[in-house]
Structure formats: structure tokens, C-alpha cells
Amino acid sequence: MKRLNVLVAGMAIAVLASCGGTGTGKVKMNDVKDTISYAIGMGRAVRVYRDQLPGDIIDSVTIKSFVKGFMEAASNPEDNAKLAYALGFEIGCQEMSQAYVGLSENLFGAGEEFNKSNYLAGFSDGILGQWDVMGFEEADETASRLYEVLLQKQFDKVREENTAFYEAQAKENDVVKTASGLLYKVIKLGDGGPKPTATSDVRVKYRGEFIDGKVFDESTTPIQLNLGGVIKGWTEGLQLMSVGDKYKFIIPYNLGYGENGYGTDIKPYSTLIFEVELVEIM
């Protein structure tokens, strides 16, 4: 330990010599503690924090606000009022950039949003326990009921658009409609050999699109799957194909993901378009 102290003292003397012993501004470099305090503080800022700050928020101007907030908190880390303010500010940013945007789009569609002043007033009253406008149970019941109504309205629109697309495709000359309602078009033919069964393992390449042309799933390298574990449109459609065939399937919602959709991407009542190439029957 004594040797370490000597080394640190030697470093401090070198730094003090270069600083003239006083530093600039509020920085005092009069002894070992002064020097190492400043050096470690800077090291923490540069090595731990500076590169982790969100670049879309912190720039050469806003960095001063960050430092000001840090200094105020550091001067009194037990100031609960300031800590509560900082927490509210952080949650406000998250709420309005994430939940508010996501719920608005989910309920009203892209480009639409809540009445922001009412949303914020409701949030504030809920946090503060102020029930003059509406009690919590009433608000909760109202939100649940209207949520279902608005979602169903949105799903009805999706169903109408997707059904119209499906019916238009069914009228195309080179499209075949099966008894179940599956539409398919032959893009290329392969070896004309055996066809898989409803329980076969196969290897395929494919691309899946919505009716607007947006690709939601794709595999350019062959993947293995079992026809008993895929959507009905695939189970039926692949049984029409031989190795080397490439088909386009237009799958109505009742042969796809139905009235519930799948995940956050595939909405209820979606018509799905797949280009599928049968690479191998296992």
C-alpha cells in the first residue's frame, strides 16, 4: 500500500506541475485527493456514460441540460421532489412516444390519435385520484367497451378490403379456385413427380405478402416443415405440387389465420399471398 501511495503522489505532482497547482474555474488541484477526484470523475463520464447517452436526444446543445440535471440531483440526491419530477418526466417521455402512439394506431388506424389533452387529463386525474369527471370503474368499463367496438370496426374494414381483393383475384383467367376457396396460380412446373400428403415433411422456399404488397415473412433458403402443422391453405396447396413446382397461393382468412390474426403483424380477416417453391419431399 505504501508503494501505491508513493506512485499516486508522484502522478499527482506531475499533474499539479502541468496545472500550476490551481486548475481552472471551480477545479482545485492542490493535493492528491483533488487530482484523483477530478480524474476519476472524468473517467466515469467518458468511459461509462457519455457513449451510452441516446444520440437522438443528447447533442451539443442538450448535453448542457443533461449536465445541469445531473448536478442538481448530485447536489441533493435525497430531494424526493426532484426525484419524483425526474421520474415523471421520464415516464412522460415513454408514455407519449410509445404507449400513446401504439394505442392510437391500434384503435384508430395509422395517422390517427387520441384527443391528447383529454388523454393527459385522464392520466393526471388517475394518478392524483381525482374522480370529478369520471370514476375509475366507470372509466375502466367505458374504455373496455369502446376498445372492443373500435377494434371490431377496424377489423370490419380489414375484412371488407381483403375480401374485395380476394374476389377480384378469383376472376383472373390464370387463377384456379378450389372447393375450399383456395386460389392458386402456377408460376413454374418442376419434374411432375409425386406430390406430398397432408402429413408429409417437405422443404420449401417462400415469400408471404399482404394485399398491399408488404412482405411479412420470407425464406430464400429452403426450410423444413410438416404439412400437418401449417395453415390450412398451405396444407391444401402444397399437396397440389411436385418437386420443382412454384405456385402463387391467395389464401382467404378462413384458410389462414382466421378471425384472430397472428401476433401483431397479421390482422384478423387477412387475405395472404404466398409464392411457394417445393424443393423436396422428405
User: Catalytic site residues?
Assistant: 206, 216-217, 231, 257, 274
CB neighbour list of residue 69: distance below 8 Å, 6 or more residues apart: 86
Q: Which helix (H) or strand (E) holds 224?
A: strand 215-226
Output b/e per residue, 204-215; b: 16+ Cβ within 10 A: bbbbbbbbeeee
- DSSP assignment letter at 97: I
Strand partners, 281: 202
Distance separating alpha carbons of residues 119 and 143, to the nearest angstrom: 12
CB atoms inside a 10 Å sphere around CB 252: 23
| Set of cell numbers at residue 263 | 401476433
Name the CA dihedral angle for 245, 250, 251, 257, rounded to a multiple of 10 degrees: 100
Distance separating alpha carbons of residues 105 and 278, to the nearest angstrom: 38
Distance separating alpha carbons of residues 18 and 20, to the nearest angstrom: 6
Task: Tell me the CB-side half-sphere exposure of residue 217, using CA atoms within 13 A.
Answer: 13
Angle at 222 between CA 216 and CA 226, to 5 degrees: 85
